[in-house]
């Protein structure tokens, strides 16, 4: 490793001010910092520092996403062969290889496009390359349908990085979760590729229904169809499949188990906010329970409240999207209110508006927008307490 270090030290002047390649300084430094934790020491302030940095933080989040990714790969193959009716005579390995071939290009496109823009922007501004996209680049493929055309993924990613993040000043400055911006852009720009029953299964047989449980549930609203049949004939009656994740859906969002493993990693390492995760689930359950009590149509009456938590992107959004520290509420109390409202609104929109069966994305983006407002009131609470103290003493 010493040789590599020497090589870097030798080439460094080329990229520094006055060097031939000075324009590429940000890129060089990004690679250097990737290979070596820099030799910067503290001056003034605390002489020792916690070993954690943004790279470590982001890699832990990516690690937490791996179970969902692995399951997504398997499930892509599983759904494909299931639709063809060949599941029984296909090896486990072949299922995984098929899934990998389908998904890998989406991941590559997401990272290449996103990191490309990040590097270019850092270069233009003379900034360091921030680590934020390491996570966004993995989140974006996981919330795409497997049938998403690659160029659409590329355009959505570019939109998310530029409009969702860089125009605000880069990592740490954005208002909305960049990965969700990518999905929202995709959803509204190319609706036919993000809804219906074709896009969720790779190369499915035409005769096979590829609708997601969410879509089935949404169809319960239509009183002309017998509700019991819909539930009985679809995944809605097989909640174990829904929990494990053997259902059509976006690549990484189907398996609640895999997502919960990720949640455990995030909470145990202290990186993800358990307050947000827990309150999202509580919020979703509360709204579901209210629907169960009040009733109105088959969707409200027959889908138990807890089932909302394992359907669609709810769990994935709660664990990986709502918890993005930059776009979430920042105060401890604010996090609980923010999380609760996300869960609450997600189920509300999902049930009340058949046009948006996947409401989690919208609920999170909406609450991202309101997070500063929630924080504002929490902060005012702290200020009032302080003022009150003065009055009591005076």
Partner 1 sequence: MSEVKKIKKGLDIKLIGKAEKVLEKADRSETFAIKPTDFPGLTPKLKVKVDTEVKAGSALFFDKYHPEVNFTSPVSGKIVAVNRGERRKILEVIIQADNELQYEEFKKANPTNLSRDEVKEELLKAGLWAFLRQRPYDVIANPADTPKAIHISAFDSAPLAADFDYLVEGEAKAFQMGLDALAKLTDGNVHLNIDAKKTQSKIFTEAKNVVINKFAGVHPAGNVGVQIHKLDPINKGDVVWVIRPQEILFIGRLFQKGIYDVSCKIALTGSEVKNPAYYNTILGASVRNMLKAQLKDDDKIRVISGNVLTGTQISEDGFLGFYDSQITVIPEGDEYEFLGWALPGLKKFSMSKTFFSWLTPNREYRLDANLHGEHRAFVMTGEYDKVLPMDVLPLQLIKSIMVEDIDQMEQLGIYEVAPEDLALCEFVCTSKINVQDLVRQGIDLMIKEMS
* Site stretch for partner 1 (CB under 8 A), options 76-84, 240-248, 307-315, 381-389: 381-389
Does 273 bind partner 1 (CB under 8 A)? Our answer is yes
Q: Token pair of 375, please? A: 């924080």
Distance of alpha carbon 76 from its chain centroid, rounded? Answer: 18
Asked if 241 and 247 touch (Cβ cutoff 8 Å), the reply is: yes
Pick from 11, 21, 37, 124: which binds partner 1 (CB under 8 A)?
37
Pick from 5, 23, 125, 225: which binds partner 1 (CB under 8 A)?
5
Pick from 16, 23, 105, 128: which binds partner 1 (CB under 8 A)?
128
Nearest CA-CA partner of 132 in 186, 53, 69, 64: 53
Give the three-state DSSP class for 124: helix
Angle between helices 92-125 and 150-164 (to 10 degrees): 40
Does 237 bind partner 1 (CB under 8 A)? Our answer is no
Residue 17 or 43 with smaller CB distance to partner 1: 43
Pick from 10, 17, 47, 93: which binds partner 1 (CB under 8 A)?
47
Angle between helices 92-125 and 54-84 (to 10 degrees): 140
Pick from 18, 50, 93, 229: which binds partner 1 (CB under 8 A)?
50
Does 60 bind partner 1 (CB under 8 A)? Our answer is yes
Pick from 117, 181, 326, 346: which binds partner 1 (CB under 8 A)?
326
Distance CA 49, CA 56 (A): 14
Nearest approach in angstroms of CB 140 to partner 1 is: 18
Tell me the number of residues near partner 1 by CB under 8 A: 60
Asked if 204 and 80 touch (Cβ cutoff 8 Å), the reply is: yes
Does 170 bind partner 1 (CB under 8 A)? Our answer is yes
Distance CA 370, CA 376 (A): 10
* Site stretch for partner 1 (CB under 8 A), options 145-153, 278-286, 306-314, 385-393: 385-393
Nearest approach in angstroms of CB 394 to partner 1 is: 8
Distance CA 80, CA 78 (A): 5
Does 10 bind partner 1 (CB under 8 A)? Our answer is no
Distances 283 to 258, 262, 290, 335 between C-alpha atoms, Å: 21, 20, 11, 12
Does 126 bind partner 1 (CB under 8 A)? Our answer is no
Distance CA 42, CA 178 (A): 32
The residue ranges that bind partner 1 (CB under 8 A) are 1, 4-5, 33, 35-57, 59-60, 128, 130-132, 169-173, 268-271, 273, 325-326, 328, 330-332, 335, 375, 379, 382-383, 385-387, 389-390, 393
């Amino acid at each position: 490793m010493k040789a590599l270090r020497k090589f870097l030290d030798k080439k460094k002047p080329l990229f520094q001010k006055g060097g031939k390649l000075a324009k590429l300084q940000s890129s060089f430094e990004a690679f250097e910092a990737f290979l070596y934790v820099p030799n910067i020491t503290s001056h003034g302030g605390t002489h020792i520092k916690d070993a954690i940095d943004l790279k470590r933080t982001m890699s832990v989040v990516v690690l937490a996403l791996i179970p969902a990714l692995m399951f997504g790969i398997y499930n892509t193959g599983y759904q494909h062969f299931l639709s063809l009716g060949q599941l029984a005579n296909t090896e486990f390995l072949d299922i995984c290889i098929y899934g990998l071939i389908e998904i890998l290009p989406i991941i590559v496109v997401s990272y290449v496009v996103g990191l490309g823009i990040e590097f270019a922007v850092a270069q233009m501004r003379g900034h360091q390359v921030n680590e934020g996209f390491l996570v966004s680049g993995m989140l974006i493929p996981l919330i795409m349908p497997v049938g998403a055309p690659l160029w659409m993924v590329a355009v959505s990613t570019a939109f998310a990085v530029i409009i969702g993040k860089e125009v605000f000043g880069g990592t740490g400055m954005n208002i909305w979760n960049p990965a969700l911006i990518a999905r929202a852009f995709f959803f509204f720009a190319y609706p036919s590729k993000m809804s219906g029953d074709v896009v969720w299964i790779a190369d499915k047989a035409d005769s096979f229904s590829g609708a997601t449980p969410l879509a089935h549930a949404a169809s319960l609203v239509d009183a002309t169809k017998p509700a019991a049949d819909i539930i009985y004939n679809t995944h809605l009656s097989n909640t174990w499949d829904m929990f494990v994740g053997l259902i059509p859906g976006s690549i990484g969002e189907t398996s609640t188990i895999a997502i919960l493993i990720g949640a455990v990693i995030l909470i145990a390492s202290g990186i993800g906010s358990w307050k947000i995760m827990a309150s999202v689930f509580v919020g979703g359950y509360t709204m579901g329970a209210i629907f169960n009590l009040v009733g109105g149509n088959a969707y409200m009456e027959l889908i138990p409240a807890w089932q909302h938590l394992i359907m669609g992107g709810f769990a994935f959004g709660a664990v990986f999207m709502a918890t993005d520290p930059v776009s979430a509420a920042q105060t401890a109390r604010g996090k609980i209110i923010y999380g609760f409202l996300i869960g609450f609104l997600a189920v509300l929109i999902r049930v009340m508006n058949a046009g948006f069966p996947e409401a989690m994305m919208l609920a999170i983006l909406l609450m991202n927008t309101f997070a500063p407002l929630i924080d504002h009131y929490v902060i005012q609470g702290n200020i009032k307490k302080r003022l009150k103290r003065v009055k009591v003493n005076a």
